[in-house]
């Protein structure tokens, strides 16, 4: 556990509280924000968005899903996912149908066009990830994934 410091204590250079400079939360926020912006820009060059990529990748890897399950899987709100899916439906990438067991539930599935688009975007996504991880060894990447998973587990509700 890192050494505790008195809140409000200044560093020797006077550039703010030392505890804040050592805090992991701002670093995580900035890394997430900057990585997401980088990824959006890279995907945007191929006419895609991060939201579309995550839906296409999830449905490719997991198969058709009930819409509310997909929202939970992606950790986004239902209305936000609905907006993304409307756009993707208009572009012919996904189709929503009623679930046979629960007519209130919509099942989201890829179309042939969606599968083709996934293949096109996958190369961009992989190149982008490689660039984000430059300078990290395979062991570093594994450890980073494990550490981020543990942090997420620590802060999950319940």
Render pLDDT for 27-86 as a digit per residue (tens, 0 to 9): 899 999 999 999 999 999 988 999 999 999 999 999 999 999 999 999 999 999 999 999
Task: Record the pTM.
Answer: 0.75
- Between CA 123 and CA 3 the distance in angstroms is 43
Encoded tokens for 158: 């319940």
Residue 80 lies in a domain: yes
Residue 115 lies in a domain: yes
Q: For residue 83, what are the domain limits?
A: 24-143
- Can you give the C-alpha Rg of the chain in angstroms? 20
Residue 17 lies in a domain: no
Residue 12 lies in a domain: no
Determine the straight-line distance between the first and last CA of the chain, rounded to whole angstroms.
23
Query: Which CATH number characterizes residue 84's domain?
Result: 1.10.10.10
Residue 95 lies in a domain: yes
- Between CA 153 and CA 78 the distance in angstroms is 23
Q: How many domains, the chain? A: 1
Q: What percent of the chain has pLDDT over 90?
A: 68
Cβ atoms within 10 Å of 76's Cβ, excluding its own: 15
- Between CA 61 and CA 57 the distance in angstroms is 6
């Amino acid at each position: 556990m890192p050494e505790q410091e008195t809140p409000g204590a200044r560093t020797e250079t006077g550039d703010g509280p030392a505890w804040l400079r050592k805090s992991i939360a701002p670093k995580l926020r900035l890394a997430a924000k900057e990585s997401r912006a980088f990824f959006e820009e890279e995907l945007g060059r191929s006419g895609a968005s991060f939201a579309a990529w995550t839906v296409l990748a999830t449905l490719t890897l997991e198969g058709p899903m009930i819409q509310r399950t997909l929202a939970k899987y992606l950790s986004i709100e239902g209305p936000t996912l609905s907006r993304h899916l409307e756009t993707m439906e208009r572009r012919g990438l996904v189709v929503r149908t009623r679930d046979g067991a629960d007519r209130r539930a919509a099942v989201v599935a890829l179309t042939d066009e969606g599968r083709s688009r996934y293949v096109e975007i996958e190369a961009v996504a992989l190149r982008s990830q490689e660039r984000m991880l430059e300078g990290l060894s395979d062991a570093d990447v594994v450890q980073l994934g494990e550490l981020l998973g543990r942090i997420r587990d620590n802060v999950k509700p319940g």
